[in-house]
A and B are shown apart, each in its own frame.
Chain A
Amino acid sequence: QQQVKQSPQSLIVQKGGISIINCAYENTAFDYFPWYQQFPGKGPALLIAIRPDVSEKKEGRFTISFNKSAKQFSLHIMDSQPGDSATYFCAASPSLTPLVFGKGTRLSVIA
């Protein structure tokens, strides 16, 4: 019940396309859902986060869609660029407790 299932494991997208990464959870106590971007040899960087009281949050080219009833949330990267090539992790937690991370998605954006 503590797991966060992330898919796909890897993703190849053409430059300018939309990258979509999905996550699903079981624990209904989760109420904080961040996405992190990690480049090789670096620590994860917070991209965007959402709480269950909203269904969508957009920051620049990054959008989180959240479906509370389905217990799913996804990251959309619009106009994907080669510089977006990285590993993306979704995470979730109940308030003020350690994050549970998905296994990660390796995104490659090709020209």
Chain B
Amino acid sequence: GAVVSQHPSRVICKSGTSVKIECRSLDFQATTMFWYRQFPKQSLMLMATSNEGSKATYEQGVEKDKFLINHASLTLSTLTVTSAHPEDSSFYICSASPKGSDTQYFGPGTRLTVL
């Protein structure tokens, strides 16, 4: 149990385009989902926390207009990177927590490459 999926696993896009990444909790309802960014050989950097039905809470330094997060249901959160640029190239990982639980289950990640 406790499986989190992400789609796509890998995406290459041109500079200036927008990319949407989906995060789904497959076998539990996730009242809270988290989005992270990870650069090579570095730790996970929390970008934002999203709660179902409410606006996401962004970490300091993360542009909310550039990284749009929607948590429309208890099993789905999306991250849209708008007007992507090469510096946005990274590994994006989501995680989800069941209601009332501290445990975070991570998705497999999405490798974004912006040309």
Chain A residues with CB under 8 Å of chain B are 32, 34, 36, 41-46, 49, 89, 93, 95-96, 98-99, 101-104, 106
Contact = CB atoms under 8 A, between A and B. Distances in A.
Contact of A41 (B34, B41, B106, B111): B111
A9 to B, nearest CB: 10
A34 B102 CA distance: 10
A44 B102 contact: no
B interface: dominant SS: strand
Nearest to A31: B102
Interface string B75-115: 00000000000000001010101001011111111010000
Given A41-B109, A46-B105, 14 more contacts: A32-B102, A42-B108, A42-B109, A43-B4, A43-B95, A43-B108, A46-B106, A49-B102, A93-B102, A96-B32, A98-B34, A98-B49, A99-B34, A106-B41
Given A43-B93, A43-B108, A102 B103 contact: no
Given A41-B109, A42-B109, A98-B49, A89 B43 contact: yes
Nearest to A100: B46
Contacts of A99: 34, 46, 104
A90 to B, nearest CB: 10
Nearest to B40: A40
A49 B105 CA distance: 12
B103 A46 contact: yes
Contacts of A45: 106
